[in-house]
Chains A and B, each alone.
Chain A
Amino acid sequence: DTAVSQTPKYLVTQMGNDKSIKCEQNLGHDTMYWYKQDSKKFLKIMFSYNNKELIINETVPNRFSPKSPDKAHLNLHINSLELGDSAVYFCASSQVAGDQYFGPGTRLLVL
């Protein structure tokens, strides 16, 4: 069974489009995260939700909007995609302040 899953795995789209990435965890964790990994492999936290409430909201353009319908899901919607949004986006989950478990990543390419 997959612990943290993300869909889609690959996403190729045109500039200006709107897209969503979905994340689900079946570990019973209460905290979920979105990270962005750029082409130099640097990891940057974007958002974190604990029990469906936003607890970390780093300096991210407001074109990025996370939504957590329940503890097991954290989706990321991106409006008006730009070339610089091309990256790998990782979802992760943990018990509050515990070890983080990562999904396989969504590779986004904006053309």
Chain B
Amino acid sequence: AQSVAQPEDQVNVAEGNPLTVKCTYSVSGNPYLFWYVQYPNRGLQFLLKYITGDNLVKGSYGFEAEFNKSQTSFHLKKPSALVSDSALYFCAVRPQSNYQLIWGAGTKLIIKP
């Protein structure tokens, strides 16, 4: 079965430190990869996506993600965390064969001052 795993329910980072939120997937072919962010009591917002090309993708709010085909991973990163980055982050994968996104369970990111 196709799936997306976000192995950490929660990630705690001190403000100013680099952050990584992990995502691995099990989807056949060459899927499209996405990261979304959900702030409290809000809808999800698109952060970035990988379709093809450079393995390092840059997105909104200074976030970037690195695609690793051999490890089937798409980890979200930011060089210097802000308190305002605290939110719920979702990884999603779309097989090229259909419209449907396969979602990870989400990772709560907490940035402490």
Contact = CB atoms under 8 A, between A and B. Distances in A.
Interface residues of A: mostly helix, strand, loop or mixed?
A: strand
A41 B88 contact: yes
Interface residues of B: mostly helix, strand, loop or mixed?
A: strand
Interface string A33-71: 000000011110100101000011000000000000000
Nearest to B99: A97
A43 B34 contact: no
> Chain B, interface size: which category?
20 to 34
A1 interface: no
A45 B100 contact: yes
B99 A102 contact: no
B43 A103 contact: yes
A7 interface: no
A100 B94 CA distance: 11
A90 B34 contact: no
**Chain A CB within 10 A, most for which of B41, B44, B45, B106:** B44
Interface string B14-45: 00000000000000000010101010011111
Nearest to B34: A99
A54 to B, nearest CB: 12
A31 interface: yes
A104 B43 contact: yes
Interface of B: 32, 34, 36, 38, 41-46, 49, 88, 90, 94, 99-101, 103, 105-106
26 contacts: A4-B43, A31-B99, A40-B105, A41-B88, A41-B105, A41-B106, A42-B103, A42-B105, A42-B106, A43-B90, A43-B106, A45-B103, A48-B99, A48-B100, A50-B99, A56-B99, A92-B43, A92-B44, A97-B32, A99-B46, A99-B49, A100-B44, A100-B46, A101-B46, A102-B43, A105-B41
